[in-house]
Amino acid sequence: MIATSRGRQLTVSPYEGEAMINRRFVLASRPNGMPRRENFRLEEAPVPTPGRGQILVRNKFISVDPGMRLRLSDRKTYAEPVAVGALVGFSTVGTVIASENPGFEVDDWVAGFLGWQEYGLAESKGVHRIVDLRVPVSTAIGVLGIPGLTGYFGLLDLGQPKAGETVLVTSAAGPVGSTAGQIAAIKGCRVVGVAGGKAKCRWLAEELGFAAAIDYRAETDLSQAIVAACPNGVDILFDNIGNAMVDRLLPLMNQFGRIVISGQTADYNLPPAERHGLKNTLEFISKRLTMRGLAASDYAARFAAAATEMTDWILAGRLKYREDIEDGFEHLPEAFIGLFEGTNFGRKLIKLP
Amino acid sequence: MIATSRGRQLTVSPYEGEAMINRRFVLASRPNGMPRRENFRLEEAPVPTPGRGQILVRNKFISVDPGMRLRLSDRKTYAEPVAVGALVGFSTVGTVIASENPGFEVDDWVAGFLGWQEYGLAESKGVHRIVDLRVPVSTAIGVLGIPGLTGYFGLLDLGQPKAGETVLVTSAAGPVGSTAGQIAAIKGCRVVGVAGGKAKCRWLAEELGFAAAIDYRAETDLSQAIVAACPNGVDILFDNIGNAMVDRLLPLMNQFGRIVISGQTADYNLPPAERHGLKNTLEFISKRLTMRGLAASDYAARFAAAATEMTDWILAGRLKYREDIEDGFEHLPEAFIGLFEGTNFGRKLIKLP
């Protein structure tokens, strides 16, 4: 039983009688370089009570995202930095267990940004009901959530693909890159992926329809391997790595090429002084290149339509996705740190009981 | 008298009886770093004879352009490299002294790309008759030529200025920057210029309507001076300098800011290894910045309309320009080298007798 702010008793049947303790990870200290386990602290607090207009959600899937690294520094980016001592984390899928909002009912599935905690309060803004249950609910924070939408809007809006063009995707087996690459293929482009390891490359080439997949770990000369795989040059570079990769690829870009800066995983942990600097920048004038930074949140008004289109592609077998789901709330920090080691394969989610 | 390819004799009255020798500068050796006098060699050859469809032009004004530096290296850019031993140079204004093309008459003024030589042959493609003589013909290769058109299309098409935005222009007293800045002011933007020396800054602030002009030579902390002059941040950076300037300004850009790479004067002479690398690139995602390289030649179909609009602005006193005209064909190499020292003020042209 949960007491609401209006004093009503809501039945929250599956959980009734449990000790209503909310476990949550807060920022213990700001990472210096690579994030470490001790930068996060597990805290316990009472499960909060929904006020008027609020819902209480019990999380089922919690994401770890490389882009969160930016918010752990004290500089302002497109999102405010996380304060030391504050809840960390990003997107979540869960069920409503108490509702003081007429738009939600108990047992509704909702996706939102409730962070690394077992229970969270939400208002209408920032969560949405998952109404299309044709695909698993975990996709709402994967291929149909921010990662997939980043691939969708980055490729379509910033990349402006034309049939026959060559699209090079880095971190191509990740949830962003694999979505961008498959949509490029749907649009008639020739898609080349760069990924780490044979299993990822096999998946790209054999299951996702990439024209070629380059295992950067196996290549002694990565640039030469890319040149060989892109005999007509590169029209769209969809990058998730950062400056070293972009600088390497600038000389391979075609006239009027587009560079979509989707992620900068290799640069998030480095102070500017240690970061690889872009030097092949004379290519910008020579080839009239366009380089743009991407944040899917700019396209929120179009999320629902994009998710519907992507769901149709999934059901038609044209858009595939892969999830790397691990049980256990307590593994969140290690799962996040592991993203920067390039070992995980697929959208990394933590599943709660 | 000049013999044409069809054997007709054309009278070229002002020049009849002169020794018809054409002086021209060719590339003697490729510059290594800053161009030097010995990279250019003066040659003499007979004045060529126009074939069918051609005109013979006697040059009156010859330009020197920083962007030519790119073509003196052996790597391909948007233009082919100049071969060692081949004619160098860029735009010219002159008079037709013999015509085998029905579109041109003797004594017509024409602007084109005949390079660093006293006489040149041209066909319809690549030259145009100067028909609007409301402003001096030298403007056809200055404010109304590639430099001014670079400012015009770079600011309007790539910059996409909106009234009230802050536009920062570097090399702001140069022919490209001063045009871009004034057009930004015409469009209702607040324009801040960076230039070298008091005289240039006074011109920008007092005559061209810039809100502020920063003398980079006089500032001990240039970034701080720019911050102070741009209290609302920077929406459009129109850069003619190169990576060091862009990197300095990335943190000052506003959300959805546009960076127009118009010129990279400081980088043309440096091999990539010695060039400043762009490191503040996390700003691209944080602020969803767009960076684009510019070449006015992409807009050739709109040149005439743009020149007419700019001529109207000139005659209305809204668009001012400055030329730095020096007599003497033989001074072309030194004038070109001087561009990289930042000492000239205004569009640098060499005038022939």
How many residues does the structure list for chain B?
A: 353
Is the ipTM of this structure higher than 0.90?
Answer: no
Checking if the pLDDT of B15 tops 90, the result is no
Residue pLDDT, tens place only, B86-144: 999 999 999 999 999 999 999 999 999 999 999 999 998 889 999 999 999 999 999 99
**Residue among B198, B197, B201 at smallest CA distance from B181:** B201
Residue where the block lists tokens 């990003």: A90
pLDDT per residue as tens, chain A (353 positions): 344 444 344 444 445 545 589 999 999 999 998 999 999 999 999 999 999 999 999 999 999 998 899 899 887 666 789 999 999 999 999 999 999 999 999 999 999 999 999 999 999 887 999 999 999 999 999 999 999 999 999 999 999 999 999 999 999 999 999 999 999 999 999 999 999 999 999 999 999 999 999 999 999 999 999 999 999 999 999 999 999 999 999 999 999 999 999 999 889 888 888 899 999 999 999 999 999 999 999 999 999 999 999 999 999 999 999 999 999 999 999 999 999 887 789 999 999 99
Chain B CB contacts of A289 below 8 Å: 292-293
Q: What is the pLDDT of residues B44-55, one digit of tens each?
A: 999 999 999 999
Identify the pLDDT of residue B18. 55
Quick: pLDDT tens for B174-198.
999 999 999 999 999 999 999 999 9
Q: How many CB pairs under 8 A join A and B?
A: 130
Alpha carbons B232 and B179: distance in angstroms, whole number: 23
Q: Do B276 and A280 touch (CB under 8 A)?
A: no
For residues A234, A238, A241, A247, the Cα torsion angle rounded to the nearest 10 degrees is: 40
Q: Which residues of A touch B76 (CB under 8 A)?
A: 286
| pLDDT tens digits, one per residue of B56-99 | 999 999 999 988 998 998 876 667 899 999 999 999 999 999 99
Measure in Å the smallest separation between the Cα of B33 and chain A Cα atoms.
Answer: 15
Distance to chain B for A174, nearest Cα, Å: 18
Residues of B in contact with A283 (CB under 8 A): 293
Q: Does residue B271 have a pLDDT over 50?
A: yes
Tokens describing residue A313: 């592609």
Which residues are CB-contacts of B191 (< 8 A; sequence separation ≥ 6)?
Answer: B166, B167, B168, B169, B181, B182, B184, B185, B209, B210, B211
Task: Assess whether pLDDT exceeds 50 at residue B6.
Answer: no
Q: Do A289 and B286 touch (CB under 8 A)?
A: no
Distance from CA of B141 to the nearest CA of A (A): 20
What are the tens digits of pLDDT across the range B215-252? 999 999 999 999 999 999 999 999 999 999 999 999 99
The answer, yes or no, to whether residue B13 has pLDDT greater than 50, is no
Determine which of A268, A291, A298 to mutate to test the interface with B (most B C-beta atoms within 10 Å). A291
Taking the C-alpha atoms of residue A291 and residue B288, their distance in angstroms, rounded to an integer, is: 10
Range with the poorest average pLDDT among B8-17, B46-55, B144-153, B199-208: B8-17
**8-state DSSP, A233:** -
Interface residue of A76, A146, A256, A279 to substitute, partner B, most B CBs within 10 Å: A279
Contact predicate A77/A39, CB 8 Å: no
CB neighbour class for B102 (10 Å; exposed up to 12, middle 13-18, buried from 19): exposed
Residue A6 has a pLDDT of 42
The pLDDT assigned to B286 comes to 92
Tally of CB atoms within 10 A around A132: 14
Q: Nearest Cα to A44, choosing from A22, A29, A62, A28?
A: A22
Nearest CA to A188 out of A236, A254, A153, A145 is that of A236
Q: In this predicted structure, what is the pLDDT of residue A2? A: 44
Task: Look at residue A125 in the predicted model and tell me its pLDDT.
Answer: 85
Residue of A nearest to B262 (CA): A285
pLDDT for A272: 82
Query: Of A190, A188, A206, which Cα lies nearest the Cα of A198?
Result: A206
Of B261, B281, B289, the CB nearest to A243: B281
Q: Which of B174, B181, B218 minimizes the C-alpha distance to B200?
A: B174
Residue B281 carries which side chain, given as an amino acid letter?
Answer: T
Per the CB < 8 Å rule, is A291 touching B286?
no
Tell me the per-residue pLDDT of A127-184, one tens digit each, with 9 for 90 and over. Answer: 999 999 999 999 999 999 999 999 999 999 999 999 999 999 999 999 999 999 999 9
